[in-house]
Amino acid sequence: MPGSLPRFPSMPRGMSMSPSLPRGITMPTLPSLPRMSLPRPVVAMPTVSEAPRRLLQDCCSVFDHQTPAGLCGCCWALRPRYKRLVDNIFPEDPEDGLVKANMEKLTFFALSAPEKLDRIAAYLSERLTRELNRHRYGYVCIAMEALEQLLLACHCQSINLLVESFLSTLRLLLETDKPHLHILATNSFVKFANIEEDTPSYHRSYDFFVSRFSQMCHSDHEDPDVQNKIRVSGIRGLQGVVRKTVDDELQVNIWEPRHMEQIVPALLVNLQQHTQADSESPAEQTEVCFRELLGRAAYGHINNAIRPVLMHLDSHSLWEGRSFAVQCFQIIMYSIQSQHSHLVIQQLLGHLDANSRSRASVRAGIVEVLSEAAVIEATGSVGPTVLEVFNTLLRQLRQSVDYELTGYYDNAGKRRTTSKEEKTLQDAVIKTIGSFANTLPIYQRSEVMLFIMGKIPVPGIYPALGSPNAGFEGSRMIQVMLLKSLLQVSERYESRNLLTALPSSFLEPLLSFTLMEDPEIRLLVLSILTSLLDRHHNTARLRSVSVVFDVSLLELKEDRSSRQDSLFMRKHAQRLYRHVYLACKEESSGRSHYQALFTLLAVLTVELANEEVVVDLIRLVLALQELALSNHESLSVFNRCGIHAVCAAFLNLLTQLGPPPPLHLHVTQVIEIRQVEAPHLLPEDVFSETPSLPKGELKVDGSFLFVQSEICEALTGSSYSAHAECFNTPYIPQLTDEDRLSKRKSIGDVVSLQMDMNSLCADTQQKPETEQITFETLKNAIEDGGSVEEEERKRMLLVEKFQTAPFEEIAAQCGAKTFSLQSKLDQVFDLIIRPPPSPSGQSPPRSTPIYEMKFPDLCVY
């Protein structure tokens, strides 16, 4: 009839509207409905083929203990439209997948009525939970796909209505024990993480996802393929959490220690495994995620991100293997922002101090990581506490020396260590010091060298470092270690101005170590000096001591000596010459020492030579030649032959770098005579593996020597002739208080040395008195008398004193001489203006001296 309710089609075969109930339970009767007339266009009637299925679904909902909303829970036609649209997206067979046409209708409805998004999401979540409980995983996948499409289609302003139901659904899937559902939930979360939201959410929490994704990264599933898939999903999930939270200050702070302590170890566990090389392996995905995490870290988050890395390497003993630890920190240093690199260095230094009582292999691993990190950080700065970095490393050196001497690396004396392990650590620390120094600008490297020099123990000046039980041997070992560290810094130190590169505060204590008995210390000092003076990197070309090479083939890099170089040589040349001379007198010098001496002299010539320096160097070589001939020195035959060989090789090099050809001809003639009659005086023989040294006392013929007179004659007429008169005075090294640093010098020797120097200074200040006014009187008023040799000796002493003495002492001495000269002039003037004696014998009254008379201004023209 027209106004009545529509008639429902018959139920499918086998179905009954009145199911049998247990005895004693009756079916409640529904109240009769009033007759009502509904407009046909308002109610969308189902088709005849869909009605039985919809009614069956409503009945099933009742029997599944779902709460029907009155009549709408049983009658599909009267259900809310969003529920009908959601139900329409599910096919009869889950293998058919999502019904795309109906999904488009649902999406259009959601966009048209965004206020119902929360109901749509809640109902989809309800359907997914129902299908999950029935283990109908096909429909679960369809429901998740629908949620994803709705999530991607919604606008940013209304996405919060959908997110809570979406995240609760993901939690439900992640709590199951099905790996494929874990992967499904992770993929959905990654898609959600890539959505940029404009509206913040204050109540959203991701703690569960951080914990669950980290747990998936540790999966130990029995099937390797499934295990890799779960781990990759966990890594991608953590990456999604980071992307979603790291840039939003209103979200949960992912950088808190409680989150970092879960995320970072989960990543490192997979980074350590290299089972596959493709892009889907856990290791590859972990590196991508780890780099993205560190790249987003701000200044205040670096420490929280690095601390779990250190804890993980400690707990799994991964410092000793070194390769994985180095790989981790290479990723860290390349990923973080460059201005934050020093924070990583500080964390590593603090961790090194915390492990000072650990095994040497652990400490060496941390130091090696520090070295690699410093190389990567070369474009930045070590940080505001530059000297603290080197102080920590030097402290590790001292502790390692103590452990090596005692044999234990703890105070209780229970944990033993070996010299081999400690030396490995010491080499790593020295290498790291060089790596750090190379990252610094030039002016800071100079400060670092001064800092290291101040840490070197010098007997009698600085107290011995290290433990009180170390003694002299401990101080010697620390000296060697710190000088090696200084050599690492100086090898790549480049400065155009040697006055700033080698100030007196650094050069004087460094040169004092050339007087030490230890040959290793002396060799290190020579190497340090050579590396600091070599600004054009010619050391490698000049390292071989020979008299047969051609300088033109060496391709030496040299520049014209600058004004700063000349000032440096005027200030420090005599000190350098003196220590070279004294180093040749050492009885314990070996082949490497003489080779280092030759290299130092060669570099000095190439870098700083001018006419005056060349003449001084020739005088030094002639003095060394006399030293090798002297019977007063207790030098062995090898030492004497080595000195002669160094002199020959250096003069052969020097004469090819500028002096006139006659000088080179003389040197070549002497070398040719030695090659025939005395090969043991040449470096090719004496510095070989099996030198043929003469037995007994060394006898050197005059034809084997370089003659001073012929050298002076060869320099005559050249630009060097202005300084040739210096050859008349043989080179004598100036004695200073530095000799007390030598172990061979006693206190009595030092006292007598100081008395001799005082007597020399007293002799130079003695001046004869003037009694008569003659030509000699006026001459002696200006300068002292004496023989030519004495005058030359005093002149050389005066020149060397002006080159080496402090400015205050020179000023005081010049002031005293000025006062003495003035007093002598007063005596001369008194004699000049003194009136002649009168015939009566009475002296007339003394008049005012002419030079003291005052004339009126009009009389002065």
Q: How far apart are CA 366 and CA 538, in angstroms?
A: 35
Q: How far apart are CA 520 and CA 473, in angstroms?
A: 13
Question: To the nearest whole number, what is the mean pLDDT of the chain?
Answer: 78
Question: What mean pLDDT is predicted for residues 147-168?
Answer: 80
In which band, very low, low, confident or very high, does the pLDDT at 309 lie, cut at 50, 70 and 90?
very high
Please work out, in degrees rounded to the nearest 5, the angle formed at the alpha carbon of residue 198 by the alpha carbons of 302 and 89: 115
- Confidence (pLDDT) at 593: 92
Q: How far apart are CA 515 and CA 106, in angstroms?
A: 93
What percentage of the chain reaches a pLDDT higher than 70?
Answer: 74
Write out the H or E segment, with its range, that includes residue 61. Answer: helix 51-63
663 or 825, which is more confident: 663
Decide if 440 contacts 448 (C-beta within 8 A): yes
Decide if 617 contacts 604 (C-beta within 8 A): yes
Angle at which helix 302-315 crosses helix 341-354, to 10 degrees, equals 40
User: How many other CB atoms are found less than 10 A from the CB of residue 188?
Assistant: 21
pLDDT digits (tens, 9 = 90+) for 336-350: 988 888 889 889 999
Residue 270 vs residues 29, 239, 273: alpha-carbon distances, Å: 64, 14, 5
Residue 113 pLDDT > 90: no
In which band, very low, low, confident or very high, does the pLDDT at 250 lie, cut at 50, 70 and 90?
low
- Confidence (pLDDT) at 827: 73
Based on DSSP, count helices (H) and strands (E) in the chain, helices before strands: 33, 0
- Confidence (pLDDT) at 76: 53
| C-alpha dihedral (82, 85, 86, 92), degrees to nearest 10 | 160
Q: How far apart are CA 664 and CA 764, in angstroms?
A: 39
Q: How far apart are CA 667 and CA 548, in angstroms?
A: 12
pLDDT digits (tens, 9 = 90+) for 609-661: 888 888 889 999 999 999 999 887 788 999 999 999 999 999 999 988 878 88
Taking the mean position of all CA atoms in its chain, how far away is CA 6? 86
Report the DSSP beta bridge partners of residue 173. Answer: none
SS3 50: coil
Question: What mean pLDDT is predicted for residues 319-344?
Answer: 88
DSSP assignment letter at 275: S
Nearest Cα neighbor of 396 from 444, 353, 455, 446 is 353
Report the DSSP beta bridge partners of residue 416. Answer: 408
Report the DSSP beta bridge partners of residue 276. Answer: none
Ordered DSSP codes for 629-680: H-SSS---HHHHHHHHHHHHHHHHHHTTSSS-HHHHHHHHHHHHHHHHH-GG
Phi, psi of 408 (to 5 degrees): -135, 145
Q: How far apart are CA 625 and CA 627, in angstroms?
A: 5
Q: How far apart are CA 767 and CA 746, in angstroms?
A: 35
- Confidence (pLDDT) at 230: 93
Residue 77 pLDDT > 90: no
- Confidence (pLDDT) at 808: 67
Ordered DSSP codes for 720-762: TGGGGGGGGS---PPP-GGGGGSTT--HHHHHHHHHHHHHHHH
Ordered DSSP codes for 537-592: --TTTS-S--SS--GGGT--------HHHHHHHHHHHHHHHHHHHHHHT-TT--HH
- Confidence (pLDDT) at 231: 93
Q: Which amino acid is at 395?
A: R
Residue 236 pLDDT > 90: yes
pLDDT digits (tens, 9 = 90+) for 419-476: 899 999 999 999 999 888 888 888 888 888 888 988 887 654 444 444 445 567 888 8
Which stretches does DSSP call E strand in 642-750? none
Residue 497 pLDDT > 70: yes
With a CB cutoff of 8 Å and minimum separation 6, the contacts of 542 are 554, 556, 598, 599, 602, 603, 606, 653
Q: How far apart are CA 722 and CA 718, in angstroms?
A: 8
Q: How far apart are CA 850 and CA 834, in angstroms?
A: 11
Q: What tokens appear for 801 in the block?
A: 């004193």
Q: How many CA atoms lie within 13 A of 711 on its CB side?
A: 26
Question: What mean pLDDT is predicted for residues 159-166?
Answer: 80
Least confident among 13-27, 83-97, 483-497, 505-519? 13-27
pLDDT digits (tens, 9 = 90+) for 528-561: 999 998 888 888 888 888 887 778 887 787 777 7
Residue 34 pLDDT > 50: no
With a CB cutoff of 8 Å and minimum separation 6, the contacts of 60 are none
Q: How far apart are CA 432 and CA 485, in angstroms?
A: 9
Question: What mean pLDDT is predicted for residues 794-805?
Answer: 74
Please work out, in degrees rounded to the nearest 5, the angle formed at the alpha carbon of residue 474 by the alpha carbons of 469 and 477: 165
pLDDT digits (tens, 9 = 90+) for 369-420: 998 888 786 555 555 567 888 889 999 999 998 898 888 888 777 888 888 9
Question: What mean pLDDT is predicted for residues 352-372?
Answer: 91
Read off the pTM. 0.69
pLDDT digits (tens, 9 = 90+) for 713-751: 888 877 777 777 777 778 887 665 555 444 444 333 333
